[in-house]
Amino acid sequence: MSAPVPLSRRPLGPTVALLCVALLVSVVCGVALGPVRVPLVDTVTHLRAALFGGIIDHADAGTYRIVWEIRLPRVLLAAVVGAGLSVVGVVVQTMVRNALADPFVLGMSSGASVGASTVVVFGVFASMGLYALSVAASLGALVATVLVYLAARTSQGLTPLRLVLTGTAMAYAFSAVTTVLIFLAPHGEAARSVLFWLLGSLGAATWAMLPLSTAAVVVGLVYLRLIARSLNALSMGDETSLTLGVDPTALRRTLFVVSSVLTGTLVAVSGAVGFVGLVVPHLVRMVVGADHRRVLTVAPLAGAVFLIWVDLVARTVAAPQELPLGVITAVVGVPCFVFLMRRRGYVFGGR
């Protein structure tokens, strides 16, 4: 057992302020940097022009379009998805009382990939054009979640272990279906598209994708922040939670619905970006402690900054090729995680 470490619980103000500044800087950098580099000054000028009005030189129209129509929505979407996945990660880890849980532990990503691969392979929903993939993936995720819910439900409600095991088992089943679909695909390109989807990408980001996903993340976050004390109680165990007046069964059911809807919405715009929802919650807890009021304040900001940079790396490192986000999150996240875990003697789930 490690020596008792006194934990200081510093006020959150400075951390939050720092992260807000980092977020702003990250957005500007995310817009400025890329295969076509836009000088920082021009970036700021263009952004200001777009937001507050102004005159752009005719010669700059191309750059303006890159900044405003391609990069900015993509960077903002990265922030929203990063924030959302981090928040869902925190909640799912508490809901199933498992340190290794992430937003996709309930079988959602594999459900989404079944949906996505039916589109890619069979061309279903072709009438919906560009949105076919998003719609199918969300539907797949939703179906997976409902199946997990039905299979995991008992007379005592949803028990954490049952949820995790059912989710894992279902994930295997859905992966098998995806594999079969890809093998049956008439052209080899299908496997590539589905794989790309599975590992997450913001390459298709448009302004149109932002309102719904932003609204979902903001509403979800505000709600979860309001019930943060109940989340604290739940993380102390079901019996303790009860004695503190929080019905664990009802709360777990609510959390299941909230996290499923949020994840489904995010999957529709970005695919299944792995690792963010696993690592960011842990990193944040290491810094600010386990109290959900603190974690749910810091995690969305940290997640947003993290995913903006991940996306930036994904589209620049092998330009003009884009790498899937999941590859970068793993490459950046794993060493970072291992380092912090060893340094702080961080514990989750036991001694």
Partner 1 sequence: MDIELRDLSVGTIVSDVSLTAATGSVVGLVGPNGSGKTTTLRCVYRSLTPNTGAVLLGGEPLAAMAPKDSARVLAAVTQDSQVDLDFTVAEVVAMARLPHKGTFERENEADAAICAEALKRVDATHLAERSVLTLSGGERQRVLVARALAQQPKVLVLDEPTNHLDIRHQHEILALVAGTGLTVLTVLHDLNLAATYCDRVHVLAEGRIVASGRPAEVFTPELVAEVFGVRAFVVEHPVSGAPQLLYDRLVHQEEIQ
Residue 226 near partner 1 by CB under 8 A: yes
The gap from C-alpha 139 to its chain's centroid, in whole angstroms, comes to 18
Q: Which of 183, 207, 339, 346 contacts partner 1 by CB under 8 A?
A: 346
The gap from C-alpha 36 to its chain's centroid, in whole angstroms, comes to 27
What are all long-range contacts of 131-137, with beta carbons under 8 Å and residues at least 24 apart? 133/197, 134/268, 134/269, 135/268, 137/112, 137/113, 137/197, 137/267, 137/268, 137/271
Q: Is the separation of the CB atoms in 185 and 173 below 8 Å?
A: no
Q: Which of 42, 60, 291, 322 contacts partner 1 by CB under 8 A?
A: 291
Residue 5 near partner 1 by CB under 8 A: yes
Backbone angles phi, psi at 158, to 5 degrees: -95, 115
| CB proximity list for 337: less than 8 A, separation 6 or greater | 279, 282, 283
User: Site map for partner 1, 84-123, x if CB under 8 A?
Assistant: -------------x-x------------------------
Residue 155 near partner 1 by CB under 8 A: no
Whose CA is closest to 331, among 320, 345, 317?
Answer: 317
Interacting span for partner 1 (CB under 8 A) from 74-82, 118-126, 231-239, 312-320: 231-239
**3-class secondary structure, 290:** coil
The gap from C-alpha 284 to its chain's centroid, in whole angstroms, comes to 15
Residue 350 near partner 1 by CB under 8 A: yes
Interacting span for partner 1 (CB under 8 A) from 35-43, 74-82, 194-202, 340-348: 340-348
Interacting span for partner 1 (CB under 8 A) from 54-62, 142-150, 189-197, 238-246: 238-246
Whose CA is closest to 268, among 191, 327, 213, 323?
Answer: 213
Residue 229 near partner 1 by CB under 8 A: yes
Residue 12 near partner 1 by CB under 8 A: no
Residue 232 near partner 1 by CB under 8 A: yes
Return the number of the residue (155 or 321) whose C-beta is nearest partner 1: 155
Q: Which residues bind partner 1 (CB under 8 A)?
A: 1-9, 97, 99, 226-227, 229-230, 232-233, 235-240, 242-247, 285, 289-291, 346-351
